[in-house]
Amino acid sequence: MYEKYWKLKEKPFENTPDPRFFYYSTQHEEALTRLTYAIQERKGAALLTGVFGCGKTLLAQSLLDGLQRGSYRIALIANPQLEYSEFLRAIASRLGATGLPTKKTEILTDYLLDVLNEMLENNFSDGKDTVVIIDEAHVIEDKKIFEELRMLLNFQHKDRFLLTLLLLGQPELRKNVDNIKQLAQRIAIRYHLDKLSRQDSEGYILHRLKIAGKEAPIFTKEAQDLIFEQSGGIPRRINHICDMSLLIGFGNKEDKIGKDIIREVVSDLEGRP
């Protein structure tokens, strides 16, 4: 709607996990480096936590983009609100297993663990690394599921893990994992994504505008400062504020977005996450 007015090729602040827009903030870069390290060095398991809207899902997408080019077999579980009996089945099926039982009553953990073990061994002999990514892992409540994940980590070839498990979720995930000592001990790498710094918040806005085709700044320095303060440095909130500001700026025929527009947007958005 406002793209033409602001001379943009597309909307810059969409809340979708589109890796083209990925901004390497200091923290996102560190998180990506650690998760990549966990995969490449076959560290077993890694844990990434962060408050909601800070970029975990987008980071997983960017990581996947990088991995697709390599020799990996990957299972991404984006919404793990699955019952205990369905969990391993979902992983096996995402890794390419066929002919798995569909009726819940027919799904047996031992059988699925055997299937998965065989798949991991086959991937290993094909020279492929297996990676299982579980996003939103904080919603997992059933301890039996964590127990199954721990069992997956027991599949090893000599001293080598046959899969890398990445657990991503909101901050409470740390506590949930730490409550299960045997699983916690297997998490070789941990990272917590915090809010963006003021500098990264500015870099983030400029970067997204640039990807959308706009090199010249649209937001004044004061506006950027206010966006940082009002968003708490959380990318999803920055997106909301910037998107609405571009719309209002277009409606008012502004040539720049100043702090007054940001104030107006923030008071409209009040109460939103």
Q: How far is the CB of 52 from ligand ATP (least distance, A)?
A: 4
Q: 25 or 130, CB closer to ligand ATP?
A: 25
Asked if 150 is part of the footprint of ligand ATP (rule: CB under 6 A), the reply reads no
In this structure, the dihedral spanned by the alpha carbons of residues 132, 137, 143 and 145, taken in order and rounded to 10 degrees, is -30
What residue 17 binds from Mg ion, ligand ATP, none (CB within 5 to 8 A, per partner kind)? Answer: ligand ATP
Binding mask 30-59 toward ligand ATP (x if CB under 6 A, else -) reads --------------------x-xxxxxxx-
Choose the one of ligand ATP, Mg ion, none that binds residue 232, judging by a C-beta under 5 to 8 angstroms depending on kind.
none
For residue 137, the minimal CB distance to ligand ATP (Å) is 11
CB contact at 8 A, 36 and 63: yes
Q: What is the CA radius of gyration of the chain?
A: 22
- By CB under 6 A, name the one of 152, 239, 241, 257 that touches ligand ATP: 239
- Taking CB under 5 A as the rule, does residue 57 contact Mg ion? yes
Name the residue nearer to ligand ATP (CB basis): 126 or 229.
229
- Select 120 or 246, whichever has its Cβ closest to ligand ATP: 246
Q: CA-to-CA distance for 45 and 133, rounded, in angstroms?
A: 10
170 binds ligand ATP (CB under 6 A): yes
Under DSSP, is residue 190 helix (H, G, I), strand (E, B) or coil?
strand
Query: What does the chain come to in residues?
Result: 273
Closest to ligand ATP by CB, 153 vs 173, is 173
Measure the CA–CA gap between 194 and 120, rounded to whole angstroms.
Answer: 34
Among candidate residues 220, 235, 230, 255, the one with its CA nearest the CA of residue 58: 235
Q: What is the spatial distance between Cα 154 and Cα 165, in angstroms, rounded to a whole number?
A: 12
Work out which of 42, 214, 236, 259 binds ligand ATP, going by CB under 6 A: 236
- What is the torsional sign of CA 188, 110, 173, 198? positive
Contact 54, 60 (CB under 8 A): no
Q: How far is the CB of 209 from ligand ATP (least distance, A)?
A: 12
| Closest to ligand ATP by CB, 80 or 235 | 235
Measured between alpha carbons, how far is 43 from 163 in angstroms, rounded to an integer? 9
Binding of ligand ATP by 261 (CB under 6 A): no
Nearer to Mg ion, 57 or 220 (CB): 57
Quote the least distance from Cβ 219 to Mg ion, whole Å.
26
Which tokens go with 195?
Answer: 């809010």
CB of residue 73 vs Mg ion: minimum separation in angstroms? 23
Judged by CB under 5 A, the number of residues near Mg ion is 2
Residue closest to 84 by CA, chosen among 117, 103, 107, 101: 107
Q: Are strands 160-161 and 156-157 parallel, antiparallel or unpaired?
A: antiparallel
Residue 109 as a binder of ligand ATP (CB under 6 A): the answer is no
Binding interface with ligand ATP (CB under 6 A): 15-17, 21-23, 25, 28, 50, 52-58, 170, 235-236, 239
